[in-house]
């Protein structure tokens, strides 16, 4: 395994719930509730889980687009949480984001050239003809042409818009890209093109990805390791082959049982989870998965399982203590 690029320790993000005319805080939505993991240089770490489990909040908290409530996010050994704005600004060019919605993430008033030029101007990387050369280069890298620079976002298809978003993210030669559901708004036929492009770019520019998605097949295709999130916590983190071949956490088993099998002769038992995901404003005591878990034991109702290493992977479950 290579060097750590990002080290996350006890990361939490709670959003206050305000009520009344004085906007009193009456509780908190625990979107991210104590994450510990590392992203190694050059790898793709996939993050999966149902909607509302805190995947996107995790990505934003790592990039400091929202302030974490607690915990540390170290980038090459330097803690980003609480870092001075000027210092953070310098590091921002190393860490970029590709957003989920290629329709909403491009400013409709700007041409594609202006959109890609924005980060170059903010960070004073290139001006004049050098800037234009860089825009052309980036458009070519993502499979578009220089002629596209003068056009507006609405003139492009979803897949092309996501390519523009990727070109913008690459403009500053980042080391880390957080891709937040980058293909979930695209047609299936276009999804594989964008995934292949991301893989090619990773090799070409030595990129590290945090790839957030709810589609397990997509995450399996692109990731080296996968973390499974449930209600603000990672419940299992493992090498992708190990995770898919021998899932250990009851939630991972249930999620994987729902992935369609391409071989119709191989029957697999579908595990249907009881009930809905509980509210992150009022998560269950003990293991937050216990109301839906078929293996639930007495201890699970009161004691929160510790996220620790078991047989080469990380898992939070009393079954393995």
Q: Please say whether the beta carbons of 236 and 248 come within 8 A.
A: yes
What single-letter DSSP state applies at residue 111? B
Q: Please say whether the beta carbons of 161 and 102 come within 8 A.
A: yes
For ligand SF4, give the closer residue by CB, 243 or 300.
300
For ligand SF4, give the closer residue by CB, 313 or 318.
318
For ligand SF4, give the closer residue by CB, 131 or 304.
304
The answer to the question of residue 313 lying near ligand SF4 (CB under 6 A) is no
The answer to the question of residue 285 lying near ligand SF4 (CB under 6 A) is no
The answer to the question of residue 319 lying near ligand SF4 (CB under 6 A) is yes
The CB-of-231 to ligand SF4 minimum distance in angstroms stands at 11
Q: What is the residue whose two structure tokens read 């995790």?
A: 58
What single-letter DSSP state applies at residue 292? G
The answer to the question of residue 92 lying near ligand SF4 (CB under 6 A) is no
Find the part of the chain contacting ligand SF4 (CB under 6 A) among 91-99, 257-265, 268-276, 282-290. Answer: 282-290
Q: Please say whether the beta carbons of 172 and 126 come within 8 A.
A: no
Four-CA torsion 293, 296, 301, 302, nearest 10 degrees: -120
Q: Which of 49, 54, 227, 305 binds ligand SF4 (CB under 6 A)?
A: 305
Question: What's the rounded Cα separation, in Å, for the pair 176 and 187?
Answer: 26
Q: Please say whether the beta carbons of 102 and 154 come within 8 A.
A: no
The answer to the question of residue 290 lying near ligand SF4 (CB under 6 A) is yes
Sequence-ordered list of residues with C-beta below 8 angstroms from that of 82, at least 6 positions apart, any chain: none
The answer to the question of residue 297 lying near ligand SF4 (CB under 6 A) is yes
For ligand SF4, give the closer residue by CB, 1 or 297.
297
Find the part of the chain contacting ligand SF4 (CB under 6 A) among 186-194, 199-207, 270-278, 292-300. Answer: 292-300
Sequence-ordered list of residues with C-beta below 8 angstroms from that of 275, at least 6 positions apart, any chain: 291, 292
For ligand SF4, give the closer residue by CB, 78 or 301.
301
Q: Which of 99, 287, 313, 314 binds ligand SF4 (CB under 6 A)?
A: 287
Give the bridge partners for 98, in sequence order.
179
The answer to the question of residue 300 lying near ligand SF4 (CB under 6 A) is yes
The footprint of ligand SF4 on residues 249-268 (CB under 6 A) is: 250
CA proximity to 58, closest of 91, 18, 30, 92: 30
CA proximity to 63, closest of 85, 80, 46: 80
Per-residue contact flags (x/-) with ligand SF4 for residues 12 to 51, judged by CB under 6 A: ----------------------------------------
End-to-end CA distance of the chain: 26
Find the part of the chain contacting ligand SF4 (CB under 6 A) among 92-100, 135-143, 164-172, 285-293. Answer: 285-293
Q: What is the residue whose two structure tokens read 């995934």?
A: 195
The answer to the question of residue 225 lying near ligand SF4 (CB under 6 A) is no
Q: Which of 195, 219, 248, 293 binds ligand SF4 (CB under 6 A)?
A: 293
Q: Please say whether the beta carbons of 291 and 284 come within 8 A.
A: yes
Per the structure block, which two tokens stand in for 107? Answer: 């400013």
The answer to the question of residue 248 lying near ligand SF4 (CB under 6 A) is no
For ligand SF4, give the closer residue by CB, 135 or 287.
287
* Binding stretches for ligand SF4 (CB under 6 A): 250, 287, 289-290, 293, 295-297, 300, 305, 317-319
């Amino acid at each position: 395994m290579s060097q750590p690029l990002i080290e996350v320790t006890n990361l939490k993000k709670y959003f206050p719930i305000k009520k009344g005319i004085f906007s009193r805080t009456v509780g908190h939505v625990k979107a991210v509730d104590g994450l510990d993991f590392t992203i190694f240089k050059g790898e793709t770490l996939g993050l999966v889980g149902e909607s509302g489990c805190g995947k996107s909040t995790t990505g934003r908290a790592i990039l400091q687009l929202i302030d974490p409530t607690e915990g540390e996010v170290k980038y090459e050994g330097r803690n980003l949480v609480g870092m001075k704005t000027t210092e953070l600004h310098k590091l921002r060019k190393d860490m970029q984001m590709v957003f989920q919605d290629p329709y909403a993430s491009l400013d409709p008033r700007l041409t594609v050239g202006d959109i890609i030029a924005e980060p170059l101007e903010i960070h004073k990387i290139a001006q004049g003809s050098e800037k234009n050369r860089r825009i052309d280069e980036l458009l070519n890298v993502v499979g578009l042409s220089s002629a596209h620079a003068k056009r507006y976002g609405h003139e492009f298809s979803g897949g092309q818009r996501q390519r523009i978003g990727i070109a913008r993210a690459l403009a500053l030669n980042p080391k880390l890209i957080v891709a937040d559901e980058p293909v979930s708004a695209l047609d299936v036929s276009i999804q594989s093109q964008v995934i292949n492009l991301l893989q090619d770019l990773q090799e070409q520019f030595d990129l590290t990805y945090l790839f957030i998605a709810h589609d397990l097949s997509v995450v399996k295709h692109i990731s080296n390791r996968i973390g499974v999130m449930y209600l603000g916590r990672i419940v299992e983190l493992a090498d992708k082959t190990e995770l898919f071949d021998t899932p250990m956490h009851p939630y991972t088993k249930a999620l994987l049982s729902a992935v369609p099998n391409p071989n119709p002769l191989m029957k697999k038992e579908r595990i249907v989870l009881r009930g809905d995901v509980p509210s992150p404003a009022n998560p269950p005591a003990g293991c937050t998965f216990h109301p839906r878990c078929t293996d639930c034991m007495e201890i699970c109702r009161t004691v929160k399982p510790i996220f620790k290493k078991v047989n080469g992977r990380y898992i939070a479950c009393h079954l393995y203590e």
